[in-house]
Structure 1
Amino acid sequence: MESNSNRDLTLRNFSPQDLKALLYIFRINVPEYFAADEETDFRNYLLHHADTYFTILSDGIIVGGAGYRIHEKKETGSITWIFLHPDHAGKGIGKYAAHSLLEILCGHKQVKYLRADTSQHGYQFFGSLGFTFVKKEKGYWGKGLDLYQMEMMNTLPKI
């Protein structure tokens, strides 16, 4: 997947060779966006769902990662583990990645609802994509990191 902006933005399928760079980016997002103990959860996610995870590149450089899951019994698709290097935040890269994932999810007929589980630091981003707030759970991700569950119908937002 590629973008037509000033930068060369690409989502490529996750490769084990990307793990070191993604873990570095993950760790510099601790503690603002992730709790340190979530690294184990992220690694486990990649062990079981690497086929739906992407490495985000800007001008050929790894700047983050993002994935999706389809929960067939719930007719729900989720954006998962989306994060960027802080130097690349606020430049439209996250929106590009999220929109690319939503395109994939919207292409699955069984998916009727889209979901994003985020924190107080990411809920406005998902709100800008059309997600609405469903519930909040204080300290869910770790100390000072609350769960903000966001949902929307399976419709591709305009960016």
Structure 2
Amino acid sequence: MQIRPFQTSDTPCLLELLRLNTPDYFSASEENDLIDYLENEIEQYFVLLVDHEILGCGGFNLSEDLKTGRISWDIFHPTSQGKRLGTALTNYRIERMKEIKSIETISVRTSQLAYPFYAKFGLELKEIVKDYWADGFDLYRLEADVDLVKIK
């Protein structure tokens, strides 16, 4: 397994990962949101490879005041789910965020489908917004003090 920074040449592969997870984990309408993120909002974004094949991706962004690290856009190949690759990439990002001294809080905005995964790291559910991402895809916002977020 290798984790490396995202390169723009990875974009077609990441869009394919998103499509493979649509409609189970993402709405088709989110593809344009991912493209916009990769082109305009990316700060720290990584791909996870196994045997030189991208099987997952995810990143984090910082709030304007640099006090909150926000986990962003986790996507994994459906056949690789449940094999601890998501845990490995999340641990990697938590470690990177803990290295940034200004970060006080780690947060994630996800759906009802993925929020239990993030809760395992000590992130606590703070908000639910029905049909936020798309019809049937609710927003679940979790966060915790950086010192309380665990490496799994």
Q: Normalising to structure 2: TM-score of the pair?
A: 0.94
Asked if 1:115 corresponds to 2:107, the answer is: yes
CA contact 2:94–2:151 (8 Å) conserved in 1 = no
Q: Aligned match of 1:76 in 68, 74, 80? A: 68
CA-CA distance at 1:51 after TM superposition? 4.5
**Higher alpha-carbon deviation: 57-66 or 114-123:** 57-66
Percent identity, please: 32
| 1:78-122 per-position Cα deviation (integer Å, ceiling 9, x unaligned) | 110011001000000000001100111111111100001111110
5+ long unaligned stretches in structure 1: 1-8
CA distance in 2, matches of 1:58, 1:75: 33
Partner of 1:67: 59
SS at 1:36 equivalent? coil
CA contact 2:43–2:60 (8 Å) conserved in 1 = no
SS at 2:143 equivalent? strand
Q: Aligned match of 1:18 in 3, 10, 14? A: 10
5+ long unaligned stretches in structure 2: none
Partner of 1:6: none
Q: Aligned match of 1:124 in 116, 121, 124? A: 116
Alignment of 1:10-159 (within 5 A): 10-73=2-65, 75-155=67-147, 156-159=149-152
CA contact 2:66–2:102 (8 Å) conserved in 1 = no
CA distance in 1, matches of 2:103, 2:64: 7
CA distance in 1, matches of 2:4, 2:42: 12
CA distance in 1, matches of 2:49, 2:117: 20
Q: What is the number of residues matched between the two proteins?
A: 151
List structure 1 segments (4+ residues) > 2 angstroms apart after TM superposition.
48-51
Letter in 2 for 1:158: I
RMSD: 1.3
CA distance in 2, matches of 1:115, 1:135: 11
